[in-house]
Amino acid sequence: MSAEVLKTPIVSQPGAPPHPLSQFWSDFKANFGAVAGLVVIVVLILLALFADVVAPHSPIVTNNAVFLKPPFWQQGGSTAYPLGTDAIGRDILSRLIYGARLSLLIGIAVVTLSVVTGTVLGLIAGFFRGVIEIVIMRLMDITLTLPSLLLAIVIVAILGPGLMNAMLAVAIVLLPHYVRIARAAVISEVSKDYVVAAKVAGAGRLRLMFKEVLPNCTAPLIVQATLGISTAILDAAALGFLGLGAQPPLPEWGTMLADAREFVLRAWWVVTLPGLAILVTVLAFNLLGDGLRDALDPKLKR
């Protein structure tokens, strides 16, 4: 009894406050979903980087000896093509692995383009106010009013179908979110003492924008960027599915689904697997984004 009483204060003795990064990591670690998402993403990145080594076959070379071969566990399947082949004899597993490369590239490139442009526009709107702000924010409102896929479709219809144009279209569609976040953060930060102090110390406008204010609005931008990657992958795949994104023979998952549509009755694997790959990837980024938000946003801490 007395031993227990004695023990308790020693255990709960307050130490030095943990470093912000280690605090972040311990919050993040406690979230099972976020860690699972991170693991999946790391595996996908490794697969994408080492696709040439990991993939058993070429993603685009056709083999007319093996049309629509089922996966190895089904009758007629072989371990040479573990997940079967498509209608013109390409290995599904290899196409999925190379597809991971494309999808990650799409997600990262689109979000980078969108975040950089959006942040700069948001900073400008937040700093300069007045007419510039109104013009930028109205434009963003218009972009937000139209359904995202419709706007992307209109842009692709004008630029012409293809992976690059689809990526550009998705980047434009995602833009308003980053502009709004950056502008809101700037407006709330600008009146704070440290900015005033920097101004008094003679910092120029660019220095104020990028060195003082920007680092303090990164947390919401990081969260939104992570969630944006999943939206980008999903929208690009939807465009691919509609025949407006990546064009065959590129092994983009949405494009693969579009090719597979007519074989839905004969070969379940050509339809099921690419979609599963999209779902797992998008889910992983959403889990990671949710975890980052919980760990980075002190308001949500219990």
Partner 1 sequence: MLRFIFTRLSLVVPTFIGITLLVFVLIRLIPGDPIETMAGERGIDALRHEQLRKEYGFDQPVLVQYGLYLSRLVHGDFGRSIVTHEPVISEFGTLFPATIELSVCAILFALCLGLPAGIIAAVRRNSIFDHGVMGVSLTGYSMPIFWWGLLLILLFSVQLGWTPVSGRIAVQYFIEPVTGFLLIDALLAGDFGAFRSALSHLVLPMIVLGTVPLAVIARMTRSAMLEVLGEDYIRTARAKGLPYFRVIAIHALRNALIPVVTVIGLQVGVLFTGAILTETIFSWPGVGKWLIEGINRRDYPVLQGGTLLIGAIIMIVNLLVDVAYGLINPRIRYTR
Binding residues for partner 1, per CB under 8 A?
A: 33, 138-139, 141-142, 144-150, 153-155, 157-158, 230, 234, 237-238, 241-244, 254, 257, 261, 264-265, 268, 271-272, 274-276, 278-279, 282-283, 286-287, 290
**Residue 168: CB minimum distance to partner 1, A:** 13
Nearer residue to partner 1 within complex by CB, 35 or 144:
144
Instruction: Tell me the C-alpha distance between 198 and 211, whole Å.
Output: 10
Question: By C-beta, is 214 or 260 nearer to partner 1?
Answer: 260
Residue 293 · residue 115 · CB < 8 Å? no
Cis peptide bond N-terminal to 251, omega within 30 = no
| In the complex, least distance from residue 57 CB atom to partner 1, rounded to whole angstroms | 23
Least gap, CB of 87 to partner 1 (angstroms): 15
Nearer to partner 1, 213 or 291 (CB): 291
CA dist 35 and 45 (Å) reads 15
Nearer to partner 1, 115 or 273 (CB): 273
Look at the alpha carbons of 56, 40, 221, 225 in this order and tell me if their dihedral is positive or negative.
Answer: positive
CB 149, CB 206: distance < 8 Å = no
C-beta of 46: minimal distance to partner 1 in Å?
Answer: 21
Smallest distance from the beta carbon of 36 to partner 1, in angstroms? 11
Non-local (6+) Cβ contacts of 75 within 8 A are none
Q: What is the CA radius of gyration of the chain?
A: 24
Residue 8 CB, nearest approach to partner 1 (Å): 26
Which one-letter DSSP state was computed for residue 214?
Answer: G
Note whether 30 and 291 are within 8 A (CB).
no
Closer to partner 1 by CB, 132 or 197: give it.
132
Q: Which residue, 211 or 261, is less far from partner 1 as judged by CB?
A: 261
